[in-house]
Amino acid sequence: MHDVSTVVVGAGPAGAAAAYTCAAAGCDVLLVDKSTFPRDKFCGDGLTTLALRELDAMRFDPAMVASWTPVEGAHLRAPSGTVHSVPLPDGPGWHAAVARRMDLDSALVDHAVRAGADTKLGSKVTGVTPRSGGIEIQFDDESTIVAEACIAADGMWSPTRKMLGLDIDRYRGEWHAFRQYWENVADAAAEQLWVFFEPDLLPGYMWSFPIGDRRANVGFGILRGGRLQTQDMKALWPDLLERPHIRAVLGADARPESPHRAWPIPARIDSAPLSGPRTFFVGDAATACDTLTGEGIGQALMTGRLAAEALLTDATIDGAIRRYETEVRAELVADHRMASALGSLMSNPRVAEFALRAVGTNDWTRRNFARWMFEDYPRAILATPRRWSRGMLSGDGAYAKVS
């Protein structure tokens, strides 16, 4: 007998989406995390159109997030210094937003609970053992839960995956990112989203994302194995902040609100294990981030939802796992490979310059690049005819009825 139908390990966006989907369908689900909420999560805090559409489908209310800041476009600074402004559509809905993960993740947990999910927060999973007909989850308080299935949303170094003997040896992610919150920033940083394609960071980039109250999430990311090493990032940070064009965006009176933080980003959905015995890996545990930008909230929400829907749809656990793996690979692998190829090209400053110059050719190229950059449609949609549909490149944004 099972104590609960599904245990979700990890209460970030992937886990919360899985728990919400199960609970909203009337399935008994337990959402577990070693942390209590609210808690900080090292992240750029950007929400693409993909993420917003997933949240909209979950009936998640952005008003629950104090730092929720809609974005109308982006300013892209090319390696030469030319700035290209790319607007998002001004029609109904949102195509991008920024929200502090401390606020967003806590609100998502609350949303899952309101749908009927139970929680066990502040509890560390110490053992995961498949049994005949179920899976046993042990906790640091010596309690045990037996479930029909486990959804592991516990990060790129997933303890669940390790306890099942499926650990990815010496894995350190594809990207490494560096973030610091700033306060009292100038209007440019307080109101606008900036991406700086610095020649020495390519194919990485630096960002400044507004989070309300004259604050900004400022950081940069590099692709592991490139010309910059992760150990160089701390020393490079003061130099980046003092570059005149970056200081001009932040403003002379801007000051750090908190210490800087660094974290790895996993992006190898085409080769990572997506499942184990009675277990589904989602979000960072499935290494599902976008290999071009390092963004992963939309992919986390999607994979969490797909795992829950597979469990709700298929009569057997093996069938549900097959369904989940098939759908994840159909949704994400072609886009991953397209993004990987483009990322390799962007490592060359001349190619990056040419690409951004092409983006700024006219209003159509600027607007459609912005939609593509913010994942309004899949990266490889033009190369995957099975996903073609009427209006696929011109739809409304998310939350069209409330924004």
Q: Residue ranges per domain, the chain?
A: 4-68+98-171+267-343, 175-265
Mapped onto helix, strand or coil, the DSSP state of residue 212 is: strand
Identical fold between 4-68+98-171+267-343 and 175-265: no
Q: Would you state the pLDDT for residue 125?
A: 98
Q: Going along 266-375, which residue ranges are E strands?
A: 275-276, 279-281
**Whether the predicted model's global pTM rises above the 0.85 cut:** yes
Mapped onto helix, strand or coil, the DSSP state of residue 55 is: helix
Q: How far apart are CA 380 and CA 40, in angstroms?
A: 33
Q: How far apart are CA 206 and CA 202, in angstroms?
A: 10
Q: What's the gap between Cα 291 and its chain centre?
A: 11
Average pLDDT over residues 125-144: 96
Average pLDDT over residues 53-71: 97
Mapped onto helix, strand or coil, the DSSP state of residue 206 is: strand
Q: How far apart are CA 98 and CA 125, in angstroms?
A: 31
CATH architecture of 175-265: 2-Layer Sandwich (3.30)
Q: Would you state the pLDDT for residue 90?
A: 86
Out of 63-67, 167-171, 258-262, 340-344, pick the least confident.
167-171
pLDDT at 86 over 90: yes
Average pLDDT over residues 311-329: 97
Give the contacts of 195 (CB within 8 A, at least 6 positions apart). Answer: 74, 75, 76, 77, 205, 206, 207
Give the contacts of 44 (CB within 8 A, at least 6 positions apart). Answer: 177, 179, 207, 209, 217, 219, 221, 294, 295
User: What is the pLDDT confidence band of residue 102, given thresholds at 50, 70 and 90?
Assistant: very high
Mean per-residue pLDDT of the chain = 95
Pair 71, 166: CB distance under 8 Å: no
- The CA–CA distances, whole Å, from 255 to 18, 101, 233 equal 38, 20, 19
pLDDT at 170 over 60: yes
- Concatenated DSSP letters for 92-151? SSBS-EE--HHHHHHHHHHHHHHHT-EEEET--EEEEEEETTEEEEEETTS-EEEEEEEE
Q: Would you state the pLDDT for residue 42?
A: 93
Mapped onto helix, strand or coil, the DSSP state of residue 279 is: strand
Give the contacts of 329 (CB within 8 A, at least 6 positions apart). Answer: 269, 270, 274
What is the share, in percent, of the chain residues with pLDDT greater than 70? 100
- The CA–CA distances, whole Å, from 9 to 118, 328, 355 equal 12, 19, 41
Give the contacts of 309 (CB within 8 A, at least 6 positions apart). Answer: 21
Pair 21, 31: CB distance under 8 Å: no
Q: Would you state the pLDDT for residue 394?
A: 87
Q: Would you state the pLDDT for residue 223?
A: 92
Amino acid at position 99, single letter = A
Whether omega before 259 lies within 30 degrees of 0, making that bond cis, reads: no
Q: How many residues does the chain have?
A: 403
Average pLDDT over residues 250-266: 96
- What confidence tens digit (pLDDT) does each residue in 297-310 have? 999 999 999 999 99
Give the contacts of 331 (CB within 8 A, at least 6 positions apart). Answer: 302, 306, 378
Q: How far apart are CA 305 and CA 104, in angstroms?
A: 17
- Concatenated DSSP letters for 247-306? HHHH-TT-EESS--EEEEE-B-TTTS--EETTEEE-GGGGTBS-TTT---HHHHHHHHHH
Out of 83-92, 179-188, 223-232, 242-251, pick the least confident.
223-232
pLDDT at 1 over 80: no
Average pLDDT over residues 309-331: 97
Cα torsion angle, 212, 214, 215, 221, sign:
positive
Q: Would you state the pLDDT for residue 55?
A: 98
pLDDT at 403 over 60: no
* Candidates 1.20.120.1200, 1.10.220.150, 3.50.50.60, 3.40.50.2300; CATH matching 4-68+98-171+267-343: 3.50.50.60
User: What is the pLDDT confidence band of residue 70, given thresholds at 50, 70 and 90?
Assistant: very high
Q: Would you state the pLDDT for residue 227?
A: 83
